[in-house]
Amino acid sequence: MKYTKKQRQEKLQNKIIENPFITDEDLADFFSVSVQTIRLDRLALSIPELRERIKHVAREHLDDVKALPEEEVIGEIIDLQLDKEAISLLDIKKEHVFSRTGIARGHYLFAQANSLAVAIIDEKMALTAKASVHFHRRVKEGERVIAKAEVKGTKDGKTIVHVVSNVKEEMVFYGEFSMYRSGK
Q: Which does 99 bind (CB under 5 to 8 A by kind): DNA, a second copy, none?
A: a second copy
Assess 8 for contact with DNA (CB under 7 A).
yes
CA distance between the termini of the chain: 78
Give whichever of 3 and 135 is closer to a second copy, judged by the CB atom: 135
Applying CB under 7 A, which of residues 14, 51, 94, 155 lies at the interface with DNA?
51
Q: Which does 40 bind (CB under 5 to 8 A by kind): a second copy, DNA, none?
A: DNA
Give whichever of 103 and 146 is closer to a second copy, judged by the CB atom: 103
- Minimum CB distance to DNA, residue 14 (Å): 17
List, as one string, the DSSP characters of the chain: ----HHHHHHHHHHHHHH-TT--HHHHHHHHTS-HHHHHHHHHHTTPPPHHHHHHHHHHHHHHHHHHHHHS-SSSEEEEEETTTEEEEEEE--GGGB-TTT-BBPHHHHHHHHHHHHHHHS-SS-EEEEEEEEEE-S--BTT-EEEEEEEEEEEETTEEEEEEEEEETTEEEEEEEEEEEE---
Judged by CB under 7 A, the stretch of 17-25, 74-82, 131-139, 150-158 that binds DNA is 17-25
- Minimum CB distance to a second copy, residue 53 (Å): 8
Give whichever of 45 and 129 is closer to a second copy, judged by the CB atom: 129
> Could you tell me how far CA 25 lies from the centroid of its own chain?
35
Assess 159 for contact with a second copy (CB under 8 A).
no
Residues 77-96 that bind a second copy (CB under 8 A): 95
Judged by CB under 7 A, the stretch of 36-44, 62-70, 107-115, 171-179 that binds DNA is 36-44
